[in-house]
Amino acid sequence: MNLLSFLEEHYVRYCTSFFIDSDPIQVPHLFTRKEDIEIAGFLAATIAWGQRKTIIANAKRLMSLMEDAPYDFVMLASQKELKRLDSFVHRTFQPDDCLFFIYALRFIYSNHGGLQTVFTDGFSSTGSIFGSLVHFRGLFLETPHLKRSEKHISDVLRGASAKRLNMFLRWMVRGNDGIDFGLWKEIPTSALMLPLDVHTGNVSRSLGLLTRSANDWKAVEEITTKLRQYDPDDPVKYDFALFGLGALGKNI
C-alpha cells in the first residue's frame, strides 16, 4: 500500500462520529449558537494538553461554571458571577489565567467583531495562518494580564508549533465530514496548518513525512507542505489519521 492510500484509509477509519466521543471537540458540539461554539471551542482547545479524559472533564466543568452559556457569560457576567472561576484549574492554567481569557474574549467580541473576524482579518491581510496567529495573539494580549498568562497563547514568532490554536482553527474552518464545524468560510481549508503534537510528530517521522526533530513551527510548515502534496485542498484532514495512529491506534 502506498502512503497516500495508507493516509486515506486511516483518515476514513478515525474521522467518524466515534472520534467526537473521545476528543475535546465534543465540548463545542454541546452548543448550536455560533458564538457559543466558537468560545467553547477556543477554551476547550486552550486547555487541551494532558490526559484527554481530564481535558474533556475540565472543559465541561468550565462550561458549567459559565452556566452552559459561554457567549452570554463572556459578555454579561458580573463580578460576582466571574468569582466562580476562582475554583477553576487545569494543570498550569490557573484562575487568574481563566479570568484574563474571559476579559480578553469580551474585548474581542465587543471591539473587534469576535474570534472569527480577528482570525480572518489576520489571514486576509497576510495570506497565511502564521499571520493570522500573530494578529490574533497581538489583539488578545491587549487586555491587561499577568505576564505568566502569555504562555497559554502560543507565539509563532518565537517558533511555537501552536498546536492548540491550529486545532481550534481546524474545528472552525473544516466542515465536510461532520466532525469539524465549517463555520468560518473566509479561511480556506487549503491554508490550514497541521496541529502538530508529540503523537502526530512521532507518526509523521515514522512514515517519512517529517524530518525535523523538534515539534516547532518549522516542523509544522514541513509536514503541512508534505500533506498538501496528497490533498492540496484539505491537507489537515490527515490530522485524523496521524493523531489517530499515534494516540488511539496500535503500532504502525
Find the domain containing 135 and state its range: 3-248
Grid coordinates representing 239?
490530522
Q: What is the pLDDT of residues 213-251, one digit of tens each?
A: 999 999 999 999 999 999 999 999 999 999 989 876 644
β-bridge mates for residue 90, sequence order: 93
User: Could you tell me if 216 and 159 are in contact, meaning their C-beta atoms sit under 8 angstroms apart?
Assistant: yes
Question: 25: closest CA among 49, 50, 59?
Answer: 59
Average pLDDT of the segment spanning 96-104: 98
Across all residues in the chain, what is the average pLDDT? 96
DSSP, res 28:
G
Q: Report the number of distinct structural domains present in the chain.
A: 1
Q: What is the pLDDT of residues 169-182, one digit of tens each?
A: 999 999 989 999 99
Q: How far apart are CA 235 and CA 245, in angstroms?
A: 17
Tell me the C-alpha to C-alpha distance, in Å, between residue 104 and each of 63, 66, 242.
Answer: 17, 15, 33
Q: What is the pLDDT of residues 15-48, one digit of tens each?
A: 999 899 999 999 999 999 999 999 999 999 999 9
Q: What is the pLDDT of residues 45-68, one digit of tens each?
A: 999 999 999 999 999 999 999 999
Whether residue 252 is predicted with pLDDT greater than 60 in this model: the reply is: no
Beta-carbon contacts of residue 113 (< 8 Å; ≥ 6 apart): none
**Could you tell me the sign of the dihedral formed by the alpha carbons of 228, 246, 50, 176, in that order?**
positive
The predicted pLDDT at position 248 comes to: 66
